[in-house]
Amino acid sequence: MKLKYSAIRKYVLIGAAVSVMAATAGNTIPGTFCNICPVGFLEVSAASRSIPWKMAAWVFAGLIAVYFFGRFFCGWFCSTSLVRKCSGSRCPSTENIYMRYLPYLVLGLSVVLSFFLKFPVFCLFCPIGLFFGFLFAVFKLFAVQEAGLTLIVFPVVIAAEVILFKRWCSGFCPIGALFSLVSKIPGPKFRPAVNRSTCILGNGGTCSVCKETCPESVKITDGGGDITEKCTSCMECAEKCPTGSIKFRK
Amino acid sequence: MKYSRREFNKLMVLSLVTFSTSEASEGGRSFLRPPGALGEERFLEKCIRCQRCIQVCPKRVIFPLSFAEGIKRMNTPVVSFRKSYCNSCLKCSLVCPTGALLPVTEATLDIGAAVIIEKDCVAWDWVGCTVCVDECPEKAIYLDEHKRPVVEPEKCNGCGICELKCPSTSIRKSAKGKGILVKPRQAGTLPRDPSLHKKRDTK
Ligand code: SF4
Ligand code: SF4
Ligand code: SF4
Ligand code: SF4
Ligand code: SF4
């Protein structure tokens, strides 16, 4: 039996969350994703008018990976993707032009508001931060038998953000937006691509399976900048493609 | 009710301004922050609520603040000595990625200062309890001529052992809480003097 991409992705996503928690229990260094978060980095720089140098190396390394692989973090490591996968929530496709630019606006606002309000604003709502905050609250429940409101509030906020507001990842998340900006910088890019000789469209037929499955509304058969900018390498399209024409490559 | 766009914008700006001023006007420090924390205002500018300090603490004395304490402070780390105390391992101050906590040494570690709560301390009107005096690793508490404990804040590092060990509530039913509590240093309280640090070999 061949393992499906979506199944592999689920295990990787779970693995990512589990390793963060294992690191916690074992008191080892990595900590949560916040440590490498480029949005957090910008927010702190803006709010405190100084650069958090200790974060800089991690953030830079992360962004180098993004430069080559685009939003792979979104598809394969982000806890929000895990929540969506487990809850069955999907970003509905959209042609809406405003939705397309909203994440960049949110990114800009997060940094500007952090500057004026003098604290990292987006971190308050960040579903990734809240996810791990929630796991820590559960942990605390067992470690010191202390229940907090956190146990109720965090899951509610996350649910509101990613389950009710289905377009969080494609239409709101400033982290995804920053990744998009970095992956737009020209250079070698590794993303899924269509093999035109086997694709139904390349042979005069009609098919729109990949376009419809894509949670980021990328038309992968059209090629071009959209893929570099938005594709999360989730491989949902590759899995659904009836002729198996989509492969991950340079 | 209907808003015109201009009114709406005005409302947004106003609410943001009131939010920031109401938060900024609060002087002094009112929460016990982990070792090495910057002043409250600078601390809030830098802390991204990554929880690393919380994760790394082997004594589990650092907790994320509940959102009930205000949305701006939600999830930022605070220290609580209800179940444990700080053993000066210094790990929290070293792992903070943003510099909201700066590295400290055993001699400069300063979480806050212990304060005797006179109405709850049993030694205040009953000679006999010397638990905090005996437990304090910094020898920061002495007994005065009435055998009442007195804290010397310049020696105290806020480790919380006294608060943790204080038996007031089990000795006396009327005691509302511990007879000694570690509190953030208020304006006017002496800072810790590193030269008075007592070296320890046990952790
Ligand atoms: S867009 Fe944001 S929330 Fe969605 S997967 Fe990417 S980082 Fe996570
Ligand atoms: S193009 Fe394919 S791999 Fe990329 S985001 Fe869309 S469905 Fe996922
Ligand atoms: S120095 Fe104290 S508060 Fe900080 S991690 Fe060590 S025991 Fe915990
Ligand atoms: S390690 Fe630093 S940035 Fe992270 S929660 Fe603690 S104080 Fe805040
Ligand atoms: S907090 Fe620690 S150092 Fe301060 S008086 Fe209590 S036991 Fe002593």
- B145: Cβ–Cβ under 8 A, 6 or more apart, which residues? none
Quickly count: other Cβ atoms within 10 Å of residue B142's Cβ. 13
| Mode of pairing for the β-strands spanning A246-249 and B180-183 | unpaired
Domain end point (choices A162, A183, A204): A183
Please name the residue that has the structure tokens 């910094």: B138
3-state secondary structure of A129: helix
Specify the ligand 3 atom closest to the Cα of B79. Answer: 3
Q: Within an 8 Å CB–CB cutoff, is residue A92 touching chain B?
A: no
**pLDDT score of A16 more than 90:** no
Query: Which tokens hold the place of A129?
Result: 């931060």
CATH number for the region B27-109 comes to 3.30.70.20
Same domain, A28 and A52: yes
Give the pLDDT of chain B (203 residues) as one tens digit per residue. 344 555 555 555 555 544 544 444 344 458 999 999 999 999 999 999 888 888 888 888 998 887 777 888 888 999 999 889 999 999 999 989 899 999 999 888 999 999 999 989 998 887 788 999 999 999 999 998 888 999 999 999 999 999 999 999 888 888 888 999 999 988 777 788 888 887 665 44
Same domain, A151 and A240: no
Q: What is the pLDDT of residue A31?
A: 63
Please name the residue that has the structure tokens 């590193």: B194
Q: A166 is in which domain, residue-wise? A: 5-183
Q: Is B86 in the pocket of ligand 3 (CB under 6 A)?
A: yes
Q: What is the pLDDT of residue B23?
A: 46
- B142: Cβ–Cβ under 8 A, 6 or more apart, which residues? B133, B149, B150, B152
* Domains contained in chain A, number: 2
DSSP character for A27? T
d(CA B201, CA B35): 20
Please name the residue that has the structure tokens 């304006």: B187
Same domain, A87 and A196: no
Same domain, A105 and A169: yes
Same domain, A65 and A32: yes
Domain end point (choices A152, A183, A214): A183
Same domain, A69 and A160: yes
The top-level CATH class assigned to B113-194 is alpha beta
Q: Residue A44: list chain B partners with CB under 8 A.
A: 45-46, 48, 98
User: Which of A6-20, A89-103, A139-153, B2-16 shows the lowest per-residue confidence on average (mean pLDDT)?
Assistant: B2-16
Rounded to 5 degrees, φ, ψ at B145 are -65, -20
3-state secondary structure of A75: helix
| Mode of pairing for the β-strands spanning B77-79 and B113-116 | unpaired
Which residues numbered 181-240 in A keep a CB inside 8 Å of some CB on B?
none
Pocket lining for ligand 2, CB < 6 angstroms: A 192, 213-214, 216, 218, 220, 231-237
Beta bridge partners of A192: A248
| CA–centroid distance, residue B37 to ligand 3 (Å) | 12
Sequence ranges of chain B with CATH classification 3.30.70.20: 27-109, 113-194
Domain end point (choices A148, A183, A218): A183
Closest CB from B51, B55, B97 relative to A27? B55
- The confidence band for A83, taking pLDDT boundaries of 50, 70 and 90, is confident
Query: Which tokens hold the place of A172?
Result: 């709101």
Specify the ligand 4 atom closest to the Cα of B99. Answer: 2
Q: Is B59 in the pocket of ligand 3 (CB under 6 A)?
A: yes
Q: Residue A132: list chain B partners with CB under 8 A.
A: 51
Residue nearest to atom 5 of ligand 3 (CA): B57
Host H or E run for residue B151:
strand B149-151
Rounded to 5 degrees, φ, ψ at B135 are -80, -25
| Cβ atoms of residues B72 and B23 within 8 Å | yes
Rounded to 5 degrees, φ, ψ at A31 are 70, -165
Closest CB from B44, B75, B91 relative to A133? B75
d(CA B89, CA B30): 24
Q: Is B50 in the pocket of ligand 4 (CB under 6 A)?
A: yes
pLDDT tens digits, residue range A108-145?
A: 999 999 999 999 999 888 888 888 888 877 776 776 66
Same domain, A67 and A126: yes
Residue nearest to atom 2 of ligand 2 (CA): A237
Q: Within an 8 Å CB–CB cutoff, is residue B18 touching chain A?
A: no
Quote the mean pLDDT of chain A.
84
Contact A113 B16 (CB under 8 A): yes
Q: Within an 8 Å CB–CB cutoff, is residue A121 touching chain B?
A: no
- The confidence band for A147, taking pLDDT boundaries of 50, 70 and 90, is low
Same domain, A14 and A36: yes
Tell me, what's the ipTM?
0.80
Q: Which of B44, B123, B147 is nearest to A120 (CA)?
A: B44
Same domain, A72 and A173: yes
Which listed ligand is nearest to A78 at the C-alpha?
A: 1
Q: What is the pLDDT of residue A104?
A: 93
What's the length of chain B?
203
Crossing angle of helices A38-48 and A53-69, rounded to 10°? 140
Say how many CA atoms lie within 13 Å of A212 toward its Cβ: 6
Specify the ligand 4 atom closest to the Cα of B34. Answer: 7
A206 CB burial (10 A radius; 0-12, 13-18, 19+): exposed
Beta bridge partners of B149: B143
Of residues A147 and B176, more confidently modeled = B176
Same domain, A25 and A107: yes
| CA–centroid distance, residue A162 to ligand 1 (Å) | 10
Does the predicted model carry a pTM greater than 0.80? yes
Same domain, A45 and A69: yes
Q: Which of A183, A174, A184 is nearest to A104 (CA)?
A: A174
3-state secondary structure of A79: helix
pLDDT tens digits, residue range A165-208?
A: 778 888 889 999 999 999 989 888 898 888 888 889 888 888 88
Same domain, A146 and A203: no
